[in-house]
Amino acid sequence: KACLIKQIFPGSCRPDGYIRCKNDITKNGKQRPLECECKDVDGDRLCFCYKCLVLTTSDLTT
């Protein structure tokens, strides 16, 4: 299990942007990220989420 993997998720970081990021991740049965935050990058607000990744055999075959 690898934790604290920082990934960028789509979204303009409106007030509910970080919630939408979390919901998008859990749709596929993946773990809810530990936390999300919005940052200004090149004039755009991007959503960054930290989460734990659990590798299973199904992940390895895709």
Phi first, then psi: what are they for 42, rounded to 5°? Answer: 50, 45
Q: What is the pTM of this model?
A: 0.38
Least confident of 2-11, 21-30, 41-50: 21-30
- Name the residue range of residue 50's domain: 2-60
Number of domains present in the structure of the chain: 1
Q: How confident is the model at residue 57 (pLDDT cuts 50, 70, 90)?
A: low
Residue 39 predicted with pLDDT over 70: yes
Amino acid at 11: G
User: Two tokens at 5?
Assistant: 């993997």
Average pLDDT, the chain: 61
Q: What is the mean pLDDT of residues 22-36?
A: 56
- pLDDT, residue 62, reads 46
CB atoms within 10 A of CB 21: 23
